[in-house]
Amino acid sequence: MAEKKKEMYSKEQLLEFYRTMVRIRTFEEKAAECFTKGMLAGNIHLSIGQEAAEAGAFAAIGPQDYFTSTHRGHGHAIARGADPKLAMAELFGKKTGYCKGKGGSMHIMAMDKGILGANGIVGGEIPIATGAAYSAKYRGTDQVAVSFMGDSATNEGTFHESINMAAAWDLPCIYVIENNLYGISVDIRDVTNTPDLAVRAQAYNIPGVVVDGMDVVAVYEAAKKAVERARKGEGPTLIECKTYRWQGHHVGDPATYRKRRSETEKEDWMKKDPIPALKEAVLKAGIASEEDFDKLDRLVEDEIQAAVQFAVDSEYPPAEDAYTDVFQQGTL
């Protein structure tokens, strides 16, 4: 983060960026710990390392706005302000979770937060956000919709169809690619012929922006500009955040495929860790103190630990609940 950039932001805003990133990471680390202890069923996909892309983008949207998420979506929900207790309970499959334990890790939805659902289908979330943006335009509101996706989703038909529609109708939608270089284990270079996925915006005559996804301020500024443009009725923007996930595709994936790029690929990216990078820059500028950061770290640790305990103490839904929330009341 450049010196002049830091001076543009208040202590409160910079600490909020930090707090959001630490909340995401701590949530993910606790979830991984619970999973490895056998406390969670199924599998989980973590966004450790990608916190700046998530914190920066969500800081740019308002409480009235919508977003859709991916199978790697815990961080999106936390960045949006979702209650960690309800999110963790959902991962545990407990009835106190956001989806009453029916969604699990890959399908958290919270309509009161504008979370239109995480999606286990690659690219499945993109047309949902596009539809939400169309709804906002049709109703004449100033709402925007944000669709998060991974790099591999840009090869799906839903990506191109949705952006074509949004561009043709000037829909208030922001498409955010978290390019962490891999689709499961497939190197993105093997399935695309361009180093920057954002250039695909050119086909639809909309802005395509490449941003350092390890710099929370850079992401925020790109997202803020895109949101302002959308609210003015100027249509969609495609933002590509260059980022990296510390973990493999899921917890337990050894990610040996990374060695193909470089023997030190993970270590090289971890040197760009956005959390200590922001802290160091803020301390160097004299904007906040070590005590400020220590206090936030303690508060977040206590908050997420309480979320784990809430999930542990909550009950599983009864078997008969499998038949509820399937059809709209009175339709069948």
Distance CA 279, CA 290 (A): 9
Residue 326 pLDDT: 82
Tell me if residue 173 falls in helix, strand or coil: strand
Report yes or no on 135 lying in a domain: yes
Q: Which residues contact 215 (CB under 8 A, 6 or more apart)?
A: 1, 52, 56, 274, 277
Contact criterion met (CB below 8 Å) for 89 and 310: yes
Distant-in-sequence, close-in-space partners of 77: CB < 8 Å, separation ≥ 6: 69, 87, 98, 108, 110, 113, 115, 118
The reply to whether 188 falls in a domain is no
Q: Which helix (H) or strand (E) holds 243?
A: none
Dihedral through CA 223, CA 229, CA 234, CA 238, nearest 10? Answer: -10
Q: Which residues fall within 8 angstroms of residue 182, CB to CB, at 6 or more apart?
A: 151, 188, 245, 249, 257, 258
Residue 330 lies in a domain: no
- DSSP 8-state class, residue 3: H
- Note whether residue 323 is domain-resident: no
157/23 Cα distance (integer angstroms)? 34
Residue 320 lies in a domain: no
| The predicted structure's pLDDT at residue 313 | 98
What ranges in the chain are assigned the alpha helix state H?
A: 3-6, 11-36, 51-58, 74-80, 84-91, 126-139, 157-168, 216-231, 265-270, 274-284, 290-313
Q: How many domains does the chain have?
A: 1
Give the number of residues written for the chain. 332
- Residue 324, domain member (yes or no): no
3-state secondary structure 281-295: HHHHCCCCCHHHHHH
d(CA 51, CA 205): 29
Helix (H) or strand (E) holding 321: none
| CATH (domain of 163) | 3.40.50.970
Residue 163: inside a domain, yes or no? yes
Q: How many CB atoms lie within 10 A of CB 122?
A: 19
Domain boundaries, position 201: 3-181+193-311
Phi and psi torsions of 174, nearest 5°: -115, 125
Q: Find out whether 176 and 223 touch, Cβ atoms under 8 Å.
A: yes
Contact predicate 208/174, CB 8 Å: no
Position 331 scores a pLDDT of 54
As a whole number of angstroms, the distance between CA 270 and CA 267 comes to 5
- Identify the pLDDT of residue 168: 98
- The predicted structure's pLDDT at residue 7: 61
- Tens of pLDDT, residue by residue, the chain (332 residues): 545 565 689 999 999 999 999 999 999 999 999 999 999 988 999 999 999 999 999 999 999 999 999 999 999 999 999 999 999 999 999 999 999 999 999 999 999 999 999 999 999 999 999 999 999 999 999 999 999 999 999 999 999 999 999 999 999 999 999 999 999 999 999 999 999 999 999 999 999 999 999 999 999 999 999 999 999 999 999 999 999 999 999 999 999 999 888 889 999 999 999 999 999 999 999 999 999 999 999 999 999 999 999 999 999 999 999 888 887 776 54
Query: What are the backbone angles phi and psi of residue 238, rounded to the nearest 5°?
Result: -110, 120
Domain contains 300? yes
282 neighbors 288 (Cβ within 8 angstroms): yes
